[in-house]
Amino acid sequence: MADAVERLRRLPPEQQQELLAAAREIAACERVLRRAGETMVERLTRATVPPEAWEHYPPGGDVYDPVSHSQYYFHRHSDDALGEEVGHFHTFLRPAGMPPGMAPAMVPPDGDGAVLPSHLIAVGIGSTGAPVRLFTTNRWVTGEAWYEAGMVEAMLPSFAVDRQHPSWAINRWLTALFRLYRAEMGLLLRARDEAVRRWQAAHPDRDALEDREFEVASTMRIDLDGRLSEIDRAIGR
């Protein structure tokens, strides 16, 4: 932790303040949920814990912010290990919310690049409701238009969900998580593209982006409480 604290102290002041603001926002959102006696998963699924496999939550459709054009849903796979991870968020940005100059490298034959979103990052949630990992997925997993890592990284600051449905606290928490882990998300996206290149080279007779044997491209364990503590020690006092 000492090394992480020192790295935080060496960041430019504006980056420090952004991290501190994100950390305080996350802490406030978690406090609201605790006082309500709910975890994020319980709030999203309306107390269906564990969530039904493959169902998208919240019930009734993905969460979409019509101003930022950010989108997300929560679900779990049938093979998720419930003792460790009860499900995960998939996050997206639709073309209308992207920075200028974004162009997909690949759009499925039956898709429309002007409409299909880009998948950003998936966030795995543990049984206590805390995030336990960040990861990226292959194109076929979400049916997205595929943008190169540098473009997706440029989209990350645009992800923001500022509305009441399904939970103001969850929306603000997820938005702040993107601020807190933006650097790590960028690393994961670059690792994603490198993994696709390696997979394609190893399987030249297949389309790597459509290969059902290649699902998760990059992954990183995270410790949110540890990160919040590091930020508090480095710049919060």
Q: With contact defined as beta carbons under 8 Å apart, do 217 and 138 qualify?
A: yes
**Residue 47: pLDDT over 90:** no
Give the residue-averaged pLDDT of 145-166. 97
**Residue 135: pLDDT over 90:** yes
- Tens digits of per-residue pLDDT, 182-211? 999 999 999 999 999 999 999 999 999 999
Q: With contact defined as beta carbons under 8 Å apart, do 188 and 136 qualify?
A: yes
CA 144 to CA 121: how far, in whole Å? 12
User: Of 19-23, 54-58, 140-144, which gets the smallest average pLDDT?
Assistant: 54-58
**Residue 223: pLDDT over 80:** yes
Average pLDDT, the chain: 92
CA 109 to CA 154: how far, in whole Å? 25
Q: With contact defined as beta carbons under 8 Å apart, do 144 and 107 qualify?
A: no
DSSP secondary structure of 26-46: HHHHHHHHHHTT--HHHHHHT
CA 198 to CA 192: how far, in whole Å? 10
Residue 9 phi, psi (nearest 5): -70, -20
Which pLDDT score is estimated for 79?
A: 62
Give the residue-averaged pLDDT of 12-36. 93
